[in-house]
Amino acid sequence: MLLFTPGPTPVPESVRVAMAGETLHHRTPEFEAIFERTRALLFELLGMDEVLMLASSGTGAMEAAVTNLTASKLLSINSGKFGERFGKIAQAHGIANVEIKHEWDTPATVEEVQAALNANPDIDAIAIQICESAGGLRHNVEAIAATVKAHNPSIMVIADGITAVGVEKIDITNIDCLISGSQKALMLPPGLAIIGLSNAAIEKIGKGKGYYFNLATEIKNQRKNTTAWTAATTITIGLESILNRIKDEGGLEKLYATTALRARATREAMEAIGLTIYPKSPADSMTTIGDHEAKKIRSLLQKEFEVNVAGGQDHIKDTIFRINHMGLISVYEAAWVVNSVELALASMGRRAFDGTASRIFNTVYFGL
Ligand SMILES: *Cc1c(COP(=O)(O)O)cnc(C)c1O
């Protein structure tokens, strides 16, 4: 079965092997050396002034960012499940919150953000997804972050890049906190969250907030190549392995270029067989198709063609399906996925099979 869900993504065999060694104690020079090398690789990946690894799923990093970087009011962008989560985190901690809410296919605009900032002078942090994975849309984070900083440079910009870091080069010029996680573009098992911080963010964190997710405590420890609590040792070993593997396969720029090309080839192939791209501003991390028979298509893909793609959640649970592009994916696997979708449509009697999806995918991907 081909795992083509936008998280979890398949863990490459070389990484699984790297993680198969004996369990290391986390307070040893041996593990600290691994931690130090992994940290250096993360500085390259994120480009931020500081990086932290947290033993939690991605949501832990979202919570840490909100609690440590918001003092008066959070502006959160809700165009889907993950944007909604930022607001729920604020609520759970009694932090004042205003939200810009849209249908899950619609990104936020610069004008709306400007209006919210004008109406709420006490906003001191904004939280937004770079890619909102619920519908596979890309927010214009660069323009929104620039607008926020032009309005007031002390407002913290928190960018959830869990399905963007490792997919595309992120412009961090106006970002104070960049979040990543292990089980999406980084092709690892779940359980490790990553936070990149600007110097301004470090200053604002000060003594930090909370206990487990007190970022001041983590900064202090991680600068010494250790962690406040028990580190996710095995996944850290996997992280060093995958980041080196990406280097061996041509580096980040090549990964970004290949991912973008595969995403474009997939979108064009899907449109060529009459399917509709769901988000108004598609991200390159996944292709999301909006279709009233999405559930049936997914089920056929799984039963007949050994392809596992993701459905949606909540109100679009059965009306979208999402094809993953994150990670080191072989082109022959991606080509089989688009071909399978065409075969599924044929078996549903929607469209006679003529190989269009495959032809368009290959034409775009190989520049024929
Ligand atoms: C997966 C994901 C998360 C984190 O979810 P966890 O289940 O806590 O790892 C956060 N934001 C986005 C955009 C995601 O895709």
Averaged confidence pLDDT in the chain: 98
- pLDDT confidence of residue 142: 98
As a whole number, mean pLDDT of residues 265-291 equals 98
List the domain boundaries for the chain.
13-248, 251-366
- pLDDT confidence of residue 338: 98
What tens digit of pLDDT does each residue of 127-163 get? 999 999 999 999 999 999 999 999 999 999 999 999 9
The architecture of the domain spanning 251-366 is Alpha-Beta Complex (3.90)
Residue nearest to atom 4 of ligand 1 (CA): 58
- pLDDT confidence of residue 226: 97
Alpha helices in 168-293 (DSSP H): 199-205, 215-222, 233-248, 252-272
Q: The pTM is what?
A: 0.98
Q: SS3 letters for 10-70?
A: CCCHHHHHHCCCCCCCCCCHHHHHHHHHHHHHHHHHHCCCEEEEECCCHHHHHHHHHHHHC
- pLDDT confidence of residue 11: 95
Name the residue among 13, 285, 25 with its Cα closest to residue 160: 285
- pLDDT confidence of residue 81: 98
> Ligand 1 mean position to 127 CA, how many Å?
14
Residues contacting 170, CB < 8 A, separation 6+: 46, 47, 130, 159, 161, 164, 178
Residue nearest to atom 5 of ligand 1 (CA): 58
CB of 365 closer than 6 angstroms to any ligand 1 atom: no
Percent of the chain scoring above 90 in pLDDT: 99
- pLDDT confidence of residue 311: 98
What tens digit of pLDDT does each residue of 96-121 get? 999 999 999 999 999 999 999 999 99
CB of 162 closer than 6 angstroms to any ligand 1 atom: yes
For a mutational test of ligand 1's pocket, the pick from 54, 131, 162, 326, i.e. the residue with the most ligand atoms closer than 8 A to its C-beta, is: 162
What tens digit of pLDDT does each residue of 183-206 get? 999 999 999 999 999 999 999 999
13-248 maps to CATH 3.30.210.10 = no
As a whole number, mean pLDDT of residues 43-70 equals 98
> Ligand 1 mean position to 184 CA, how many Å?
8
